[in-house]
Amino acid sequence: MRRVCYGCDLAAWKRGMLDCPFCRTPTLSNDSQILAMLQKRVNAGDPVSIWHLGGKYQLGQYGLGKDVMRAVELYEHAAELGVKEAHFCLGCIFDKGVDVEKDTSKAIRHWEVAAMLGHVSARFNLGNMEVNSSNVVDLALQHWMIAVNLGCQDSLHNIKVLFMEGLATKDDYAEALRGYQSATEEMSSPDRNEAKALRWFAQEQLSDGSRRVKVEGLSRGMGGR
């Protein structure tokens, strides 16, 4: 399985291309057909498909009964195959402790691996963990700086809060602003900007499984699919 950005998806839709942008397979609308196609890719050992199927078990979608333990099994398999999103989802599950035993150390370990693989929300959450669990602002700032350079707006917000509270320097905030601007300019495109303005495929939850809430002025990432 492959994924495209919302801008590319919108561009294809505007051109009347409603099938797969890679192989031109017609888009399936029936849950049983989608599940069958997904299972076929899982049986072939596709790592991203294994992670994706885990998400369907976690949410109880495509006619599957909600089964978090089965989701964890699939996420762990995908994580072993190097899927950073699977590590992120495992971190979220163990952090929240819903339907599984809460295990903060496991959550942090999976987020650390995901962050090393380039998962922005995992890096953002690690910063939150430093502030919320041990109040280590310096380490949180380091995590958020890395995330800002990858275009994480919530990390920029948190660094601004630290600056306003005297916990980060003016130079820190200026560096964060430059990093965020550079990242967003690099990722910008007319179609992507239009998709964002239209809230293309807007959902309560983000595509990577994270959600955002405000806690005492800081943006705090909450996991889950």
Question: For 40-65, how does the pLDDT look when each residue is reduced to its tens digit (9 = 90+)?
Answer: 999 999 999 999 999 999 999 999 99
SS3 call for 222 = strand
Q: Which amino acid is at 32?
A: S
Q: What is the pLDDT of residue 138?
A: 94
Which position has the token pair 């979220």? 92
Q: Which amino acid is at 93?
A: I
| Distance, CA of 48 to CA of 42 (rounded, Å) | 8
Q: What is the pLDDT of residue 161?
A: 95
Question: For 147-189, how does the pLDDT look when each residue is reduced to its tens digit (9 = 90+)?
Answer: 999 999 999 999 999 999 999 999 999 999 999 999 988 877 7
Q: What is the pLDDT of residue 26?
A: 72
- The 10 Å Cβ neighbour count of residue 188 is 12
12 contacts: CB under 8 Å, gap ≥ 6:
4, 18, 21
Q: Where are the domains of the chain?
A: 6-222
Percent share of the chain, pLDDT over 90:
62
Looking at per-residue pLDDT, the higher value among 10 and 96 belongs to 96
126 contacts: CB under 8 Å, gap ≥ 6:
108, 111, 112, 115, 143
Q: What is the pLDDT of residue 168?
A: 95
pLDDT(200) > 90: no
> CATH assignment of 6-222?
1.25.40.10
Enter the DSSP assignment of 132.
Answer: I
User: Average pLDDT over the chain, rounded to whole?
Assistant: 84
